[in-house]
Amino acid sequence: MNLEISDIERGLMLRTGQGKRALKLALEGVKLLDRKQLDYGPNNILYSGEMGIVVRCQDKICRLRHLLEKGGDAQNESLEDSYRDLANYGIIGMMLHRDEWLDPSNKPPEPPLN
């Protein structure tokens, strides 16, 4: 299936330019998340759970604040990279909170009730 962004916009009934631009950015973030998961696998997130996401977000916020206070010059990771990572950590946090991080086929079986 090859959907155009405009098809998704119509399907979601997006009416504002902000909503349409946000969709494009969100899809870019999902593509990045997917690529990174090929390298990291799911366990790096599971080791520290939701509190680990909070720490990662705090690190990104401190980095963003530092970069903005000094004028936005980054040596390695751009402001946009940090914002994108922060958005993805929010998505990952929601997936953990909803118990949707692992694919159902990869979840360990529930222990039997006695």
**pLDDT band for position 110 (cuts 50, 70, 90):** low
pLDDT value of residue 111? 59
Supply the range of the domain harboring residue 33: 1-41
Question: Does residue 48 sit in the same domain as residue 91?
Answer: yes
pLDDT value of residue 103? 81
**Tokens 């929010």 correspond to what residue?**
90
Mean pLDDT of 11-27: 96
Is residue 113 included in any domain, yes or no?
no
Number of folded domains in the chain?
2
Q: What is the pLDDT of residues 59-98, one digit of tens each?
A: 999 999 999 998 877 888 889 999 999 999 999 999 999 9
What is the distance, to the nearest Å, from the Cα of residue 92 to the centroid of all Cα atoms in its chain? 5
Is residue 114 included in any domain, yes or no?
no
Q: How many other β-carbons are positioned within 10 Å of the β-carbon of residue 78?
A: 12
Question: Does residue 95 sit in the same domain as residue 81?
Answer: yes
Is residue 106 included in any domain, yes or no?
no
Q: What's the whole-model pTM score?
A: 0.83
Question: Does residue 18 sit in the same domain as residue 61?
Answer: no
Choice among 4-18, 45-59, 100-114 with the minimum mean pLDDT: 100-114
Distance CA 61, CA 55 (A): 10
